[in-house]
Structure 1
């Protein structure tokens, strides 16, 4: 069980957005933060906006730990091209993100747990590392024994999300191909993400 599973909706309330676009989110009922001072909203500083952008991006991908997120950022800087775009591509190549995008599970938190528990194969081999970087052309599938899990059946039948076009998915076989790394504009975020502010945060 992900240690952050219990408090995932607190992330929504703390950031003041419905981060995953889910109808169950408490932000739909209470648009203020958790705790006794949650209703006090003051205008954030530039640093506050940068921090919020980082927390939103980290939170969206299952609340990745700071050390791991910083490593991804360092890799994004090292690569050629726009650092913000590189960061998004590295996040979207994570195996747990790909499994979530392919709609094999309902949430990024469930995806991390699903991968951890060995329910996913990449190119026919079992991979249980959520942060595993998927390459172009890799085939991702749900293990045969796991295809009838209630969690999987619920996710596949849900009309809550669409599968983006940088993935080619056969939902009946619970199998898909990672076709290409997406551009930032291709990624279907339910809320506005600002990777440029994340880059500013780490470049200070």
Structure 2
């Protein structure tokens, strides 16, 4: 297991929310930040503090991807015409690990990254092991035949704690999924409030 996988619940406490809505999150029991000063009364955040927290929360939600990868998503979104915050969310949801997670083939976004990394997933019939691979609408994501009976997969498909969003079409029997369309921000089923507009402000004011 990677350090990021082991630290997934620390992200909840660091940002002060149960960002995936997981029932096992320690934030459900200790709704304060970690460390000896975690229970102190929180001071009002500056604009920079709010922007930084919005960035950390959104970056953490997608498996605590590296700063370099996350900034790259912002740069690509900012170069396109339209609402940069909306485009950024669409690009994050097009990541292969995000689609695997949305399809409920695995229980967590961290497991999705590892699942893809280990070569359990095919895109349009081709084995693909890059979690950041950009899925296009109409692409068919399929679990490899030898991986379909993994306990991780069977457990995830039975989870009742989250639903499959409308922009992902899933055949649970064949264990295939397809991205119907790139979603708008309002369609994405975040368990906690995300503020991509503040993430855009964070980067745009820093060049």
For normalisation by structure 2, the TM-score amounts to: 0.97
- Find the counterpart in structure 1 of residue 190 from structure 2: 189
Gaps of 5+ in 2: none
- Find the counterpart in structure 1 of residue 36 from structure 2: 36
How many angstroms does 1:150 deviate by? 0.4
Q: Do the aligned partners of 1:137 and 1:179 also contact (CA within 8 Å) in 2? A: yes
Q: Deviations over 1:114-152 (max 9, x none)?
A: 000000000000000000000110000100000000000
Q: Distance in 1 between matches of 2:43 and 2:143?
A: 46
Q: Deviations over 1:19-66 (max 9, x none)?
A: 100000011000111111111222111110100100010000000100
- Find the counterpart in structure 1 of residue 84 from structure 2: 83
* 1:1-204 matches, cutoff 5 A: 1-40=1-40, 41-204=42-205
The secondary structure found in structure 2 opposite 1:36 is coil
CA RMSD of aligned residues (A): 0.7
Runs of 4 or more, structure 1, over 3 Å off, are none
How many angstroms does 1:3 deviate by? 2.9
Q: Deviations over 1:48-105 (max 9, x none)?
A: 0100100010000000100110011000001111000010000000000000000000
- Matched positions, count: 204
Gaps of 5+ in 1: none
The secondary structure found in structure 2 opposite 1:20 is coil
